[in-house]
Amino acid sequence: MKIADLKIEPAVFLAPMAGVSDYPYRQLIREMGVELLYTEMVSARGYEYGNKRTAELIEFEKNENGKIAVQIFGEEPDFMARAAAGISEEYQIDMIDINMGCPARKIVKNGAGSALMKDLDLAYEIIKSTVNATEVPVTVKMRSGWDEENINAVELAKIAEKAGAAAAAVHGRTRSQYYKGEADWEIIKKVVQSVNIPVIGNGDIFSAGDAKAMFEQTNCDGIMIGRAAQGYPWIFKEIIEYLETGRLIEPPSNSEKIEMAIRHLKLAVDYYGEQHGVPIMRKHISWYLKGLPNASEIKNKVNQLSEAKALIKLLRKHKNTLTS
């Protein structure tokens, strides 16, 4: 897959999920074979005002095999343009992605995220201003529409292409659906048929088979994985192997899931410090434990602990009960 002059293989991506796809987790995803990683969404206004959290969100390790895309959000073309220019220059990133799909109320109420699908003139101005402000490729992530009466991803994708966007990612749900119901892959297919820029399909890819089906049913150029990656970084390795060879690799054992949770915890504590890192990891550990014996009991204990050593001891003890 090529986004402008950026060649990306394999075309399998981790979705930019707030509170999930942070630097510690991206390190694990990189090891699973993902070449281009997206940051969590970064406030354009926050960056311009020097918010300290911005650097924490953007942090990454640059190497010859890895690329980074920073996703920004906002509702003002000037702020978006200045943020894109500043971030591109300061961090030497590979791509800027504009968030026009986030359904969260605190984002939408200010006119950003998926609210921009209700104002396509403003969406055009934001994309065009951002494209003109930076030399790196600019892409747009969107939903199928605002609600069932306003399915306009095709129209927004055409506008994005006209404004100079190098690619579009489409989540086949409306804003009103949030993450409920089924993703509409047909709208992704229609977007693919309507524009000449690459299209990334997103929504309801929970397995290697789903990934292949997304490519076959929509003819998209790439795929993006969101919730299925929570507590399960192995999904990328499984998908990439299956797409390249047709082989289904063995899923991780329960012991491997717990060891990955511990490794993830150590990365988070190293990066954020224990006071901040442990609370962040509680939800991740809960995801790693999903489906394991006595998971609910262990999750309750995890939520009561605030020291990394105690958490690791608890997880290792639980691992031993699974293997004994």
pLDDT in the model for residue 62:
63
* pLDDT per residue rounded down to tens, the chain (324 residues): 999 999 999 999 999 999 999 999 999 999 999 999 999 999 999 998 887 777 788 877 665 568 999 999 999 999 999 999 999 999 999 999 999 999 999 999 999 999 999 999 999 999 999 999 999 999 999 999 999 999 999 999 999 999 999 999 999 999 999 999 999 999 999 999 999 999 999 999 999 999 999 999 999 999 999 999 999 999 999 999 999 999 999 999 999 999 999 999 999 999 999 999 999 999 999 999 999 999 999 999 999 999 999 999 999 999 999 875
- CA distance linking residue 212 with residue 223, whole number of Å: 9
CATH number of 2-245: 3.20.20.70
Give the CATH class of 254-323.
Answer: mainly alpha
Helix (H) or strand (E) holding 56: helix 52-58
CA distances for 66 relative to 237, 260, 264, 291, angstroms: 16, 21, 20, 32
- CA distance linking residue 155 with residue 80, whole number of Å: 21
Say if residue 284 carries a ligand binding annotation.
Answer: no
CA distances for 210 relative to 124, 156, 192, 199, angstroms: 32, 26, 18, 17
- CA distance linking residue 181 with residue 113, whole number of Å: 20
Same CATH fold assignment for domains 2-245 and 254-323 = no
The one-letter amino acid at 174: T
User: Beta strand 2-3 with 222-225: parallel, antiparallel or unpaired?
Assistant: unpaired
Say if residue 18 carries a ligand binding annotation.
Answer: yes
Say if residue 171 carries a ligand binding annotation.
Answer: yes
Q: Which of 68, 102, 107, 163 is catalytic?
A: 102
Say if residue 227 carries a ligand binding annotation.
Answer: yes
Contact (CB, 8 A) for 59 and 67: no
Q: Measured in whole angstroms, how far is the alpha carbon of residue 24 from the centre of its chain?
A: 14
Contact (CB, 8 A) for 143 and 170: yes
Omega cis (within 30) before 10: yes
Note if 220 is an active site residue: no
Say if residue 318 carries a ligand binding annotation.
Answer: no
In the chain, at which residue ranges do the beta strands (DSSP E only) sit?
2-3, 6-7, 12-14, 36-38, 42-43, 67-73, 95-100, 138-145, 167-174, 199-202, 222-225
pLDDT in the model for residue 60:
77
Say if residue 201 carries a ligand binding annotation.
Answer: no
Contact (CB, 8 A) for 177 and 101: no
Place of tokens 């220059």: 89
Say if residue 16 carries a ligand binding annotation.
Answer: yes
Which sequence spans correspond to the domains of the chain? 2-245, 254-323
Predicted structure pTM score: 0.95
